A and B are shown apart, each in its own frame.
Chain A
Amino acid sequence: MMESKLSRRVAVEPGIWHEPDDGKVQLIGMRCPNCGEITFPKTSRCLYCQNEEVEEYLLKNEGTVTAASVVTRPPAKHYRGPVPFAIGFVELEDELRVWTPLASSDPEVFKSGMEVELVLQDLYQNDEGDTVVGFAFTPKEEALR
């Protein structure tokens, strides 16, 4: 990702991912000690059993695409990124499926069964001139670059 010296990078929403200084970014989910359910994004109570004693749970940062769609028209509101763009479902090993942006130089590349990895990507510049950052899954070979 390109980083300008003048512009700060701010998360699209706080508390969605954990980015260690020396490791790979992970999405922050919720795990319920009562029923074992895992949810993303995290919630303050379990949506399955309503238990309020839930704990943060870092999701696996690799998974498999189960379905993808390329959007060729701009969404109605709020989205200010490139068009066309890909979104789809990524299944994280035995945890859950995430409805997620899929980032690649070629949005058509995503197919069911493709192995992908979590990355952060620039979305747009906000009114303060900061770069707003969101997450996406990208093909493993592109993430290595």
Chain B
Amino acid sequence: MREVAVAGVGLTKFDRYDGRKGRPFKNFDELGEEAILAALDYAGFEWRDIEAVFGAHAFQGASATNHCLNRIGLTGIPVVNVENGCASSQSAFRLAYQQVACGLYDVILVVGFEKVPTGLIDNPTVPKWQREMGLDVMAALSGCSVQKYMEDYDAVPEDFARVAVMERRNANKNPKAFFYQKGEPTVEEILASPTITSPLTTLMMCPNGDGASAAIVCTPEKLKSRKNMVTVAASVQSSGLYGNPQELQYLRHKNPSVFERGGQMAYEAAGIGPEDLSVVQVHDPYTPVFFNCVEDLKLCERGEGPALMREGYFDINGTTPVGTDGGTLGRSHPVGATGIAEIAELFYQLRGECGPRQVANAKVGLAHNAGPGPTCIVTVLKK
């Protein structure tokens, strides 16, 4: 396998592009175009340097990637649309990484873009009759998991609010984040916001933001400069395993969760352990998922997450900074754009370009992108 570098990344501002209340209106193809041009610009590449494209989205309809590319140029290259729910864009990134690593192409562009529906996001993997019974509300599963977590470990509702406080604080320092300079709510304000799926409140759930993200992967030879080179140390995927705890109906079999297996596979592929990570991005659309992520990825012991959060362990200047760009709660979660946005943040952090949210001496970063199914992609970048 060949070494694979990240040549550049690009992001739109994550926002609501619906043209209402003084906000700008943009279609998904404009957002995709903007992210692609930003990534090309960063890498110093021309559009004609791109040999293949993987485009990721969940709600934009058949072959939507081509709408973005039709705004840039038709160069006859293979274009593949990737849909994998909330994990779509890191799935696309993984395919691009593999094709460069095995020598099929030298330069591939991946783009993720989405304009997100309003309201509760449903789970398309649930059969229609169960959806008619209201059983497709993913946030309610998370509401149930809070109760279980508080029964099993030393945690209180304030702990689940504190995740949102930290991610909102980080988002204040990221001009691309949905909640950039939108204040830092207190634990009390978060708990007092309207309840959506008890005990989860509005501010414990990710906002419905739109946006796009892009990245270019290539062989090191193709880079314009190898100064501060960032390479892909691992890009792995796991899916549901009978008896894993996300599928709570299974009583007899106990298997590691899709997150835990994804983490194990990534550490093995990268030849590192959780103690080597300088910065981590986790996929936490609801605050309780943050603790599932950091514990399954072995950043701490089971049940330790809330106490470490109180101590600032996951803060930008903490032992293992998590969600430095604002995370899913502060950046927002434009479904098909989230996975590459996480990779973009790792890339900026490893290159020392994060300004007020920069993690000191960042060398290795891990991004975790999850989707219904369940599925989980874990990507490790290193300097």
Contacts and interface: CB of A to CB of B under 8 A. Distances in A.
14 contacts: A12-B132, A67-B144, A71-B139, A74-B120, A79-B133, A79-B136, A87-B134, A96-B249, A99-B141, A112-B147, A124-B132, A132-B132, A134-B132, A136-B133
Contacts of A106: none
A88 B249 contact: no
Contacts of A40: 249
Nearest to B142: A69
Nearest to A80: B132
A39 B129 CA distance: 17
Nearest to A100: B135
Chain A CB within 10 Å, residue with most, of B143, B200, B249: B249
Interface of A: 12-13, 16, 36-37, 39-40, 47-48, 66-81, 85, 87-89, 91, 94-101, 108, 112, 123-124, 132, 134-136
A87 B119 contact: no
B195 A70 contact: yes
B133 A101 contact: yes
Contact of A70 (B148, B197, B253): B197
Interface string B124-138: 000111011111110
Given A68-B144, A70-B198, A72-B197, A77 B249 contact: no
B175 interface: no
Contacts of A74: 119-120
A78 B132 contact: yes
A136 B198 CA distance: 19
Contacts of A123: 132-133
Given A66-B148, A112-B151, A132-B132, A72 B196 contact: yes
A91 B248 CA distance: 10
B248 A97 contact: yes
B257 to A, nearest CB: 16
Nearest to B243: A48
Given A67-B145, A87-B137, 18 more contacts: A16-B129, A39-B249, A68-B144, A70-B195, A70-B198, A71-B134, A71-B197, A72-B197, A75-B122, A76-B122, A79-B134, A80-B132, A81-B134, A87-B140, A108-B198, A134-B129, A134-B133, A135-B133
B67 to A, nearest CB: 24
A72 B250 contact: no
Given A71-B197, A72-B194, A77-B122, A99 B132 contact: no
B268 to A, nearest CB: 25
Interface in B342-373: none
Contacts of B131: 75, 77-79
Nearest to B252: A37
B242 A48 contact: yes
A69 B194 CA distance: 14
B251 interface: yes
Q: Most B CB atoms within 10 A — which of A78, A94, A108?
A: A78
A120 B121 CA distance: 27
A136 B133 CA distance: 9
Contact of B195 (A16, A67, A72, A88): A72
B117 interface: yes
Contacts of B251: 91, 94-97
A16 to B, nearest CB: 7
B79 to A, nearest CB: 29
Contact of A76 (B121, B133, B135): B121
Contacts of A39: 249
Contacts of A108: 198
A70 B148 CA distance: 15
Given A70-B195, A70-B197, A75 B249 contact: no
A113 B230 CA distance: 51
A16 B117 CA distance: 31
A66 B145 CA distance: 10
A36 to B, nearest CB: 8
